[in-house]
Structure 1
Amino acid sequence: MHAYLEKVAADHDIMRSIRFGLEVTQARFDEASSEWTAQVISEAGEEETLRAAILISGVGAFNKPRLPDIPGLETFEGPSFHTARYPDEGVSLEGRNVVLIGNGASAMQVAPAIADTVASLTIVQRTPQWAAPFPKFGKSIPEPLRRLLDAVPLYRLWYRIRLSWAFNDKLYEALQQDPAWAGHGRSINPVNDAHRKGLEAYITAELGTATHLLPQVLPDYPPFGKRMLLDNGWFRTLAKENVTLVTGSVVEALPNGVRTQDGTVHNADLLIWATGFDVVNLLAPMRVVGKGGRELHKDWKGDDARAYLGTVVPGYPNFFCLYGPNTQFGHGGSLITVLERQMHYVMSLIRQALSVSAVQVEVREDVHDAYNAQVDATHAGMVWTYPGVETYYKNSKGRVVVNNPFRIIDFWTMTEAADLSEYRLSGCNPLLTAGAA
């Protein structure tokens, strides 16, 4: 994947346009010049101001590790790190006692990889997770298939669309709450219940004789209520003799271990924190200042981010946010596809704005508000707002700010072409604007 990214950068000669090792601390819109100024700082501490007519945020969301505030952590004598900050030089695990805190996507990658090396592995989970079978994990793509994909573009396109349907919108029906369905909190409709039965059977088979773990590993919430994970040997790892699964949370760190909420002390030579990321505080800690000195994070009340199509916000002209609020698909789909659709939409808007000589383009408040009302209303009937479902998709107010509630094909249609009538334009010819709209 890294080689692919480098090849694309080289093929399109974009490396000369990228500056590495810079952090944007503040971006401010200058209404007089219709430009954005960005305050940046280098790794050496050198400050600089950049100016541009258009500002696009591509900072992502899963990049700010979230570490719990654990009393006594500074007293722990061994290595302690978040999975996102795993030491570049690696770390010695042979014969060591390891405590892994968390059981999400990162933990499911770490545990099977280290279980056969460490002396003991203690995994601390707050709630169990659903994980779907992944039979092709780690397998190479056969050479004949590689040749076929290269030689027959139509087959490659068909192969991709088949994968997209199977893992994307085909699952959309399973996410809808059926008020008449008596799922007792465990499923939300007949399709969702069928997924539950299939996943339960798979998990039971993976545990083998370790059926005593079933009460700890079978979730009591509907499938897809949290991010659906892909299994790479997680349940088989839990069944190993040197692996212990603890349900609860770490409440204290000691020099040679941790204490969980039940009072048990777990010895550890090394702590690995798979505790996720601060996803809901989008763009933080970067400060974004729009028209009239308004600040984006104050408008968003911290973690209540909203944007039209997850991309544009009223009061912030010529500003576009990739992987913005409500752009992640919880029922599948590639994030790269979402980013491509956002950029497709942004380029459609910029081309039209330039065609009428506009210097500022800003989404109307009523368009923005109506879209977000539609987002919330659609979410109200989906699995992530179902009673008892708690996930990082929600902010502190209980609103889903991460996931997009629409079918992928519907969002594709929404982002096919920008409509200038949904925007306020300035510095342009009104006659040209009417024609473009």
Structure 2
Amino acid sequence: MRVLVVGAGFGGIAAAIELRTHGITDVTIVEAGPGIGGTWAYNTYPGAACDVPSHLYSFSFAQRRNWSRLCSPQPEILEYLKGVAREYDVDGLVVPDTRIVEARRDDTTGPWTATTDDGRTFTADVLIVATGQLNTPVTPDVPGQGSFDGVQFHSARWDHERDLRGRRVAVVGTGASAVQFVPEIAQEVAHLAVFQRTGNWFLPRRNRPFPGWWKAAIRYVPGLQRWRRRFITEYTESLTLMIRHPSTLGRIGRLWSTLFMRMQVRDPELRRRIWPDYTFGCKRILFSSHYLPALSRPNVSLSTEKVTEIVPEGVRTADGTTHKVDTIIWGTGFAARDFMFPMEIVGPGDRKLSDEWAGGPHAHLGMTVPGFPSLFVLYGPNTNTSGGSIILYLEAQTRYLREALQRMTSRGAEAIEVRRDVEAASDAQVQARFPGTAWTACDSWYRDEGGRIVTNWPGYMREYLDRTKTVDADEYVFHR
């Protein structure tokens, strides 16, 4: 069985390890970037770190006892992933600088033929798309961008050649990335103009380095690492609990966030501008103990006016003000709802995945789509977590797809495909769980243009792990 994995981030590496550990050895990983890392190879902005504690944001089979702090910085996470790939001897499977533009399967019994942007082709019996949800940076189409006299870049493609010391810098966007890099660069720029579309709900995270006694305890006290991971799991599940019950338990989260934010911002005018106007948990809850104080610095300004135009000397807002800057940093997030697109995936009968998903992305358990035999998507539709670790989901998904492939071979089949009625029922069940939750109380990047939530799992991590524990062969067609 030949397996092609697209993407060398946590999902792609997890898939390769799971398959090779269970005897499926003909695995190739193609990566558009220069090597292993995925989002952790691209997001190198100052202060880049995970907002999920490292004891949970790591593989269960490759636990590490020497994390430097609760939520590790980007270089540490990247080195961890590379180290795991070396340890499990899958780093040599990666073909770097290889961007797939189309994957096509002409008949149900295969194979898949993947074509790169430079004309190379890869042929495989199984296609695993592990490009994730947060891989394609988005810069809004603001008039006049090409006229700017200074330097501009997206936070996920940070320009390290640009020395920001003494510069006048604009940051457009105040999401999870900006919350991390704004406090870092505010200390060195001459002036920082932050442009906010909507406020955020915040919870504390100081993220200091672990003291020596704690590192020693984690390393030497039996069971402490396991207990720590379990505690963090339950803590993150409590965030989902609040989101699922906004009118009751969600009020506790809102009160906690309100008290914290009021302590962080004393100025009533600044507090008014940063305050969110939507239900707690409707959008991503952000963790930072440094961002809000950074907005109070004398060299930092916050504008809540809409950015309407980029002019040669800076940023113009809806009130007619021109903010003069020499650097623009776009902290405007990712095309989370596009998944693997613009890569084209074509199944038998010239069926395009883009057409199948015209009404919104959907997949059985976020992984399999009818009409596309032996195609698996990792971190696919409705598998994002609102508070936990996506790595738990990825491990569950790779175990599931490995079992699916084993069931396929045990039946002498050439391909496996989810039944259309099964996938439709699965999608309906997922969507039926959103009404009444905080996720539906506002617009967010979780929802597509029609208002359908296409990124997030509607329940708890433990529910997804239980649902993917084993493959129900009756849910699939085995093509011979």
Report the TM-score when normalising by structure 1.
0.90
**Shift >4 Å, 4+ stretches:** none
* Cα distance in 2 for residues equivalent to 1:245 and 1:407: 36
Contact 1:282/1:324, CA 8 A, preserved across alignment: yes
* Cα distance in 2 for residues equivalent to 1:415 and 1:151: 34
* Cα distance in 1 for residues equivalent to 2:425 and 2:154: 39
Structure 1 unpaired stretches of 5+: 178-187, 428-437
2:194 alignment partner, one of 123, 127, 133: 123
* Cα distance in 2 for residues equivalent to 1:351 and 1:144: 46
1:57 alignment partner, one of 114, 129, 139: 129
* Cα distance in 2 for residues equivalent to 1:412 and 1:73: 45
* Count of aligned pairs between the two proteins: 404
- Mark the CA change 1:211 to 1:277 in structure 2 (over 3 Å): closer, same or farther: same
* Cα distance in 2 for residues equivalent to 1:255 and 1:60: 36
- Residues 122-158 of structure 1 show CA distances to partners (whole Å, capped at 9, x for unaligned) of 11111101111113x1x22233333333334522111
Match of 1:154 in 2: 223
Match of 1:181 in 2: none
* Cα distance in 2 for residues equivalent to 1:153 and 1:370: 45
Using the TM superposition, give the Cα deviation of residue 426 of structure 1 relative to its aligned residue in structure 2, in angstroms: 1.9
Match of 1:205 in 2: 263
Match of 2:399 in 1: 344
Match of 2:83 in 1: 7
* Cα distance in 1 for residues equivalent to 2:221 and 2:457: 34
Using the TM superposition, give the Cα deviation of residue 199 of structure 1 relative to its aligned residue in structure 2, in angstroms: 1.2
Contact 2:364/2:423, CA 8 A, preserved across alignment: yes
- Residues 270-320 of structure 1 show CA distances to partners (whole Å, capped at 9, x for unaligned) of 11111111111121110000121100011101x710000000000001000
- Mark the CA change 1:151 to 1:357 in structure 2 (over 3 Å): closer, same or farther: farther
What SS does structure 1 have at the residue aligned with 2:339?
coil
RMSD: 1.4
Contact 1:130/1:219, CA 8 A, preserved across alignment: yes
* Cα distance in 1 for residues equivalent to 2:122 and 2:437: 43
**Pairs within 5 Å for 1:365-384:** 365-384=420-439
Match of 2:181 in 1: 110
1:29 alignment partner, one of 90, 105, 113: 105
- Residues 350-376 of structure 1 show CA distances to partners (whole Å, capped at 9, x for unaligned) of 111111111111000111001100111
Contact 1:133/1:231, CA 8 A, preserved across alignment: yes
Q: Which moved more, 1:352-361 or 1:305-314?
A: 352-361
Using the TM superposition, give the Cα deviation of residue 33 of structure 1 relative to its aligned residue in structure 2, in angstroms: 4.8
- Residues 215-244 of structure 1 show CA distances to partners (whole Å, capped at 9, x for unaligned) of 111112111110011114111011111111
What SS does structure 1 have at the residue aligned with 2:99?
strand
Match of 1:364 in 2: 419
Contact 2:106/2:350, CA 8 A, preserved across alignment: no
Letter in 2 for 1:115: A
Contact 1:204/1:211, CA 8 A, preserved across alignment: no
Percent identity for Structure 1 against Structure 2: 35
Match of 2:321 in 1: 264
What SS does structure 2 have at the residue aligned with 1:289?
strand
What SS does structure 2 have at the residue aligned with 1:165?
helix
Letter in 2 for 1:248: E
Contact 1:67/1:275, CA 8 A, preserved across alignment: yes
Higher Cα Rg, which structure: 1
- Residues 82-101 of structure 1 show CA distances to partners (whole Å, capped at 9, x for unaligned) of 11111143x12222211110
- Residues 386-428 of structure 1 show CA distances to partners (whole Å, capped at 9, x for unaligned) of 2xx111000011100000002111111001011111001122x
Report the TM-score when normalising by structure 2.
0.82
Match of 1:420 in 2: 473
What SS does structure 2 have at the residue aligned with 1:329?
coil
What SS does structure 1 have at the residue aligned with 2:188?
coil
* Cα distance in 2 for residues equivalent to 1:336 and 1:298: 29
